[in-house]
Structure 1
């Protein structure tokens, strides 16, 4: 089970994720909605210089315009782009043409059953989907789980990897994985304590996620 820790705002955050054995770290940049732990592209680039091999740096953004997305990836030196906001498929194609080395993850907000159709709409244009929760103010980082039954339906019908996010914690990630069967999981607020990323909760999350399907083949 792949594990991504999002909202990396400091070298201490990054070390915490690395020590837990993460597969990816997310840097929130280019925000247009309420968010926490966001950084500039330059700050992300400085942290990425200290990232060990084989851990993916992910640019997580609310930006929508092609030129803005391309500039953000180039300036931050990330190799994966996670698009949280609504964009046209043609925008994702344009990003791919400009940055053929970049993996594109498109967030789908699971507010109701219409998310199944939204996921299918973006599937041909993304390398992976990320199922998240949103509110009027926030495009992610809500700390609120969504309907895992809908997420499980999306995973079962998807031709590309699907990552589960939204309100995951060390206490519920095992149940979520068993219910949804995602390719990977993504957490931000669920591993915080007193407003900062907590080493014990971060390690516990990774352990629970990796053990959730113990004895079953990795997807």
Structure 2
């Protein structure tokens, strides 16, 4: 099971995730909605220089204009882009042509069954989908789970990898994985304590996620 820890703001945050055996680290940049743990592309690039091999740095952003997204990726040195807000599917091709090495993950907010059609709309363009929760103020990092039945349907019918996010914690991630069967999971607020990434909760999350499907093909 692939694991991404999002909201990395410091070398201590980064080391905490590395020690837990993460596959990817999310750096939140370019926000237009309420968000926590935001960094600048320059700050992200400085941390990414210290990353060991085989851990993917992910630019997580609310930006929607292709030029802004391309500049953000270049400035931050990330190799994956997670687009949290709305973008025309054809614009993903524009970004990919400008940055051929880049992997692109498109967020689909699971508010109701319309998310199934939304996932299908982006499927031919993105490298993966990430199923997240939104509120009127936030388009990520809400700490609120969504309907895993809808997420399970998206996973079962998707031709590309699907990552589960939204309100995951060490306490519920095993159940979520068994219900949804995603390619990977993504956590932000669920491993915090007193407002910062907590080593014990981070390790517990990774342990619970990796043992959820011990016989699965996608075991990490």
Distance 2:27 2:77 in 1: 11
CA displacement, residues 116-161 of structure 1 (integer Å, 9 cap, x when unaligned):
0000000001000000000010010000000000000000000000
TM-score scaled to structure 1, two decimals?
0.99
Distance 1:208 1:25 in 2: 18
Matched, 1:148 2:148: yes
Aligned residue for 1:125, secondary structure, equals coil
Matched, 1:33 2:33: yes
Give the CA deviation at 1:50: 0.4
- Which residue matches 2:79? 79
Distance 1:218 1:94 in 2: 31
Aligned residues: 219
Give the CA deviation at 1:53: 0.3
CA displacement, residues 70-106 of structure 1 (integer Å, 9 cap, x when unaligned):
0000000000000000000121110000001000000
- Which residue matches 2:15? 15
Distance 2:218 2:119 in 1: 23
- Which residue matches 1:59? 59
TM-score scaled to structure 2, two decimals?
0.99
- Give 5+ residue unaligned stretches, structure 1: none
Matched, 1:172 2:159: no
Distance 2:186 2:68 in 1: 24
Indicate the RMSD between aligned Cα atoms, in angstroms: 0.6
Distance 2:45 2:130 in 1: 23
- Give 5+ residue unaligned stretches, structure 2: none
